Amino acid sequence: MTMEVLLLFILLPPLAGAALNGLLGRRLSQAAVSGIACGAAGLSMIAALLAAWTFSHLVPEPSVYLHRYFTWIEAGSLRADFALYYDRLTLVMTVTVTVVAFLIHLYSRGYMGHEGGYYRFFCYLNLFLFMMLMLVTAANFPLLFVGWEGVGLCSYLLIGFYFRKRSAADAGKKAFVVTRTGDAGFTVGLALLFWTFGSLDFGEVFARLKTLPAGQMQGTLTAIAILMFMGAVGKSAQIPLFVWLPDAMEGPTPVSALIHAATMVTAGVYLVARSSLLFAHAPLALEIVGGIGCVTALFAATIALTQNDLKRLLAYSTISQLGYMFVGCGVGVFAAGIFHLMTHAFFKSLLFLAAGSVMHALRGELDMQKMGGLRTKLRTTYWTFLIATLAISGVPGLSGFFSKDEILLGAFEGPLGKPWIFWLATLTAGLTAFYMFRGVFLTFHGSSRVTPEVEHHVHESGRKMTTPLIVLAVFSVIVGYVNLPGTPWFVRYLEPVFGPAESLLTATAPAHAAEGHPGLLVMGASLLVVAVGILLAYWLYLKSPELPRQLAERFRLAYQVLINKYYVDEIYNWLIVRPICWGSDKVLWRAFDAGAIDHLMVEGTANATARVGNILRRMQSGYVRSYAAWVLLGAVLWLAYVLLLT
């Protein structure tokens, strides 16, 4: 199988699946619908794996496989083809996305079985997969943007899947509008990029950037990078555009797992990574990326400390982990950021799917205060959730530890690494361990606080749901082993992709004083905070469960601020939403649309015409003698004209 065919087999099955289910799904059985969807996802996954194998065995191994299928846009000097770009980064992304997506499709068979709109769900899910894959395989920015907007659309459709529920519909709108705000910056950045380089093709732009000496065009390149990062801020839920992600939990849990944990939200990280050379030429932009990532990571982690809703807890955790990925890119170790993206995809989606399993068992209950003691009744769910928690907390031996370690190492000794980033990131790791284990203890340990009606309904989920959980758990453990502290195979593997950017950064960045054994210091610090975090959670939620309430009383203000997520939504509502709504209502609608256009222009024209007509109609009196008079007058005037003026 040739690469060009394989690439099509990665992209097209989900699109076909979406089309089939969308058009015919109504009349098909649930088995047929899920068969089509899972089959499409599975086919895509197999193609991705085959493409990975084929690419790796190409002789001589190219750094990029590029294939133009057909011309898409040709307008003046702007040319964007439907072309696909496959390099090692694409390999990592396609394999991760398709494997996780396939497992989630399988899980959904069990989870969505009792819900209405079964075919609609799988149609949107397949469509999303197509768009995401298009995003990561695109060979130029316009095509990437198609995928970018496409995943945004599917996110809106899937968040608002239960569209009859007001909060779900609102959440879908919020997600779309907030990410759109970021996309505005992205689009301007693309325009500036085109204006600067005359092309939006990866090959051409990156070639130009490679030969560009360091320090040239910095202003323009920094502007482009920052604008593009705005898009990433929206899509990947960083400060200040993160507010849509917690609300997005209104969607079905598989959606939260796939879109808002493993794939769509990572698109921003992918964008920055793919444009690593551009960012390398604009260190200021990278510092902004790292700074925002770090602050967001810490900020979201503090909110997660007090959340009682299981899915919201995971949502804030996702925001925090995405911050980590941006830290990785921001300090110059792009491969570490992608490594964390990959490990996170597995353990985060596992966390969400397991949470879904808990929800399923508790008839939709999500408040952890009404859970407890579930580990005996939901064994598989418990153990897989625990494994994922260990991974995300950065406990050694599991994948999260290795990927977080790489990022922390980069923060410490990377080209743009800074001490404050390192310490805040390490602190955040401790907080992460704490709130995740708090989640485990509240949900699965201790005495049961489950309400009586739900009590006898509690049962472990069927195999359709637990099998993907187990598979993801296995991955959450082993995926990290591709990169060990002493043997960074994964980072080295991505060297052809990030090499140019990283060497540029090392050359231009101020030199670091190399200390003795930075690796050991980093590892030691992170292990310390993780251990403290877990022990603290154990103490507060298992040993002395009255303590949390007492602490909340003692530190009332801090607790209120945290549990109300720093009132960010309320602030945005006052500062942005209300003025815009007021402006739209009073100015744009009443004054302009109804007043100026409807009243003045439309009715006004009609009125003016009527009035003029009224005046003119007096000539049609039926009075013949007046007609005669006008004829005479006309004749005289004409005669005068002829005689006097010619």
Partner 1 sequence: MVPLSHYLMLSAVLFALGAAGFLIRRNVITIFMCIELMLNAVNLAFIAFARHLGRPDGQIFVFFVIVVAAAEAAVGLAIIIALFRNRESLSIDDLDSMKL
Q: How far is the CB of 604 from partner 1 (least distance, A)?
A: 23
Q: How far is the CB of 616 from partner 1 (least distance, A)?
A: 9
Owner of token pair 């361990």: 433
296, 326, 467, 525, 583 from 412: Cα distances, Å: 18, 15, 39, 11, 48
DSSP 551: H
Complex with partner 1: residue 447 or 614, whichever CB lies closer: 614
The residues near 160 (Cβ < 8 Å, ≥ 6 apart) are 168, 169, 171, 172, 173, 250, 251
CB contact at 8 A, 101 and 129: yes
Complex with partner 1: residue 588 or 629, whichever CB lies closer: 629
DSSP 29: -
Complex with partner 1: residue 614 or 646, whichever CB lies closer: 614
Complex with partner 1: residue 27 or 617, whichever CB lies closer: 617
206-232 burial, b if ≥16 CB within 10 A, otherwise e? beebeeeeeeebeebbbbbbbbbbbbb
Q: How far is the CB of 606 from partner 1 (least distance, A)?
A: 18
Partners of 80 in beta bridges: 73
Q: How far is the CB of 596 from partner 1 (least distance, A)?
A: 33
DSSP 140: B
Q: How far is the CB of 622 from partner 1 (least distance, A)?
A: 3
Complex with partner 1: residue 624 or 645, whichever CB lies closer: 624
Q: How far is the CB of 624 from partner 1 (least distance, A)?
A: 5
The candidate with the shortest Cα–Cα distance to 404, out of 328, 486, 296, is: 328
Partners of 78 in beta bridges: 75
Complex with partner 1: residue 31 or 624, whichever CB lies closer: 624
- Stretch (H or E) spanning 81: strand 78-86
Query: SS3 for 400?
Result: helix
Complex with partner 1: residue 164 or 617, whichever CB lies closer: 617
Complex with partner 1: residue 2 or 626, whichever CB lies closer: 626
CB contact at 8 A, 467 and 377: no
Cβ neighbours, 10 Å, residue 322: 31
DSSP 198: S
Complex with partner 1: residue 114 or 617, whichever CB lies closer: 617
Cα–Cα distance measured from residue 643 to residue 646, given in angstroms and rounded to the nearest whole number: 6
41, 268, 309, 317 from 371: Cα distances, Å: 34, 35, 11, 20
DSSP 600: I
Query: Amino acid identity, residue 148?
Result: W
Complex with partner 1: residue 77 or 614, whichever CB lies closer: 614
Helix 267-274 and helix 141-159, axial crossing angle in degrees, nearest 10: 170
Q: How far is the CB of 612 from partner 1 (least distance, A)?
A: 14
Cα–Cα distance measured from residue 150 to residue 265, given in angstroms and rounded to the nearest whole number: 13
Complex with partner 1: residue 608 or 632, whichever CB lies closer: 632
Complex with partner 1: residue 489 or 627, whichever CB lies closer: 627
Q: How far is the CB of 610 from partner 1 (least distance, A)?
A: 13
Q: How far is the CB of 598 from partner 1 (least distance, A)?
A: 29
Helix residue ranges per DSSP H, 399-517: 399-413, 419-444, 452-455, 463-478, 489-493, 495-508
Q: How far is the CB of 644 from partner 1 (least distance, A)?
A: 17
Q: How far is the CB of 627 from partner 1 (least distance, A)?
A: 10
Q: How far is the CB of 611 from partner 1 (least distance, A)?
A: 15
Query: SS3 for 276?
Result: helix
CA 632 to chain centre: 81
Q: How far is the CB of 640 from partner 1 (least distance, A)?
A: 15
The residues near 566 (Cβ < 8 Å, ≥ 6 apart) are 299, 303
Complex with partner 1: residue 602 or 628, whichever CB lies closer: 628
Query: Amino acid identity, residue 285?
Result: A
CB contact at 8 A, 387 and 473: yes
- Interacting residue ranges for partner 1, rule: CB under 8 A: 617, 620-625, 628-629, 632
Burial class (CB in 10 A: 0-12, 13-18, 19+), 27: exposed
